């Protein structure tokens, strides 16, 4: 349950390990979307427990879906962290997030600074980009006039969610200084981004690499925003597991630079 007394639905994969990784989904997604189930299994195969959950208003959790709610979702993640520590009785070793979930785990690290490792998969760095592309060139004028407009979004599982896009939610996102917040992070951070991402440009990954002190950047050549190609997904899973289980930084040290991975089995360059 979060601080707004909304029940959050989660799935625990317990291997018996002392450490646990929390997995966070993206915009209009759920704990069963993207490759979070596959990532949970990959971590389990290396002995690492995981918890993945639905943010409020998404999946099976209570609450109302919103385009914004970035800081509110940070508090959902906080509730999950405290649940793991106080109820599951495990150490939260890392938080991993995809897309909007990548933003949430980075914001969490900037505020709470109590998790050692963060993985940001294709999170957005420049927050005023992508709004007109998603909602139309005149969306800001429409919101200024009416305050809200009805929108539909395809969610995980083929569902269509109808929601109210508010000026407040858009203003929240546009005013969010992700790169400024990223400078406050002291945890070890891995950012993974596809070079063919048309939703969030790879430039944002490079910006995070410059802003975050202890940072490593892995680029997957040809991968889109959701790593849909099986070869790209396998490289993603391998890189996350190497970072979280084997403790492998790019270059073998914290802040180990950038590595580009080709979309074929075992390929890197």
Look-up: residue for tokens 């950038």? 258
Nearest Cα to Cα of residue 215 among 172, 258, 159: 258
Q: 107 near 116, Cβ under 8 Å?
A: no
Q: Tell me: the pLDDT tens digits for 196-241?
A: 999 999 999 999 999 999 999 999 999 999 999 999 999 999 999 9
Look-up: residue for tokens 């992508």? 130
Q: How confident is the model at residue 269 (pLDDT cuts 50, 70, 90)?
A: very low
Question: What contacts 65, CB < 8 A, 6 or more positions away?
Answer: 28, 57, 58, 161, 163
Q: How confident is the model at residue 150 (pLDDT cuts 50, 70, 90)?
A: very high
The residue-averaged pLDDT of 23-37 equals 95
Nearest Cα to Cα of residue 131 among 79, 162, 175, 180: 175
Query: In percent, how much of the chain has pLDDT > 70?
Result: 92
The residue-averaged pLDDT of 74-91 equals 98
- Please check the confidence at residue 263 and state whether its pLDDT lies above 70: no
Q: Report the range of poorest mean pLDDT among 14-18, 59-63, 191-195, 245-249.
A: 245-249
Q: Tell me: the pLDDT tens digits for 100-127?
A: 999 999 999 999 999 999 999 999 999 9
Instruction: Please give the Cα distance from 92 to 22 (Å, whole number).
Output: 7
- For the chain, the average pLDDT equals 91
Instruction: Please give the Cα distance from 208 to 102 (Å, whole number).
Output: 11
Specify the CATH architecture of the domain 10-127+176-261: 3-Layer(aba) Sandwich (3.40)
Which pLDDT score is estimated for 248?
61
- Please check the confidence at residue 50 and state whether its pLDDT lies above 90: yes
Q: Cα dihedral sign for 212, 215, 221, 223?
A: negative
Q: How confident is the model at residue 1 (pLDDT cuts 50, 70, 90)?
A: confident
Domain segments of the chain as ranges: 10-127+176-261
Which pLDDT score is estimated for 52?
98
Which pLDDT score is estimated for 158?
75
Which pLDDT score is estimated for 249?
57
């Amino acid at each position: 349950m979060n601080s707004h007394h909304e029940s959050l639905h989660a799935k625990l994969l317990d291997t018996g390990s002392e450490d646990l990784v929390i997995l966070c989904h993206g915009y209009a997604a759920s704990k069963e979307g993207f490759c979070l189930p596959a990532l949970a299994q990959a971590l389990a195969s290396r002995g690492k427990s995981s918890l993945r959950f639905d943010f409020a208003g998404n999946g099976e959790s209570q609450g109302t879906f919103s385009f914004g709610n970035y800081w509110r979702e940070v508090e959902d993640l906080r509730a999950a962290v405290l649940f793991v520590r106080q109820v599951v009785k495990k150490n939260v070793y890392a938080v991993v997030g995809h897309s909007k979930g990548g933003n949430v785990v980075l914001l969490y690290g900037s505020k709470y600074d109590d998790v050692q490792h963060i993985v940001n998969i294709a999170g957005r760095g420049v927050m005023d980009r992508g709004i007109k592309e998603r909602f139309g060139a005149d969306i800001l004028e429409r919101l200024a006039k009416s305050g809200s407009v009805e929108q539909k979004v395809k969610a995980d599982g083929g569902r269509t969610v109808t929601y109210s896009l508010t000026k407040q939610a858009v203003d929240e996102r546009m005013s969010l200084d992700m790169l400024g917040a990223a400078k406050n992070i002291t945890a070890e951070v891995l950012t993974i981004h596809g070079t063919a991402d048309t939703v969030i440009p790879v430039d944002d990954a490079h910006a995070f690499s410059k802003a975050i002190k202890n940072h490593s950047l892995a680029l997957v050549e040809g991968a889109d925003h959701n790593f849909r190609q099986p070869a790209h997904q396998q490289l993603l899973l391998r890189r996350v597991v190497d970072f979280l289980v084997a403790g492998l930084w790019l270059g073998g040290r914290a802040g180990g630079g950038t590595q580009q991975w080709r979309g074929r089995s075992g390929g890197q360059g």
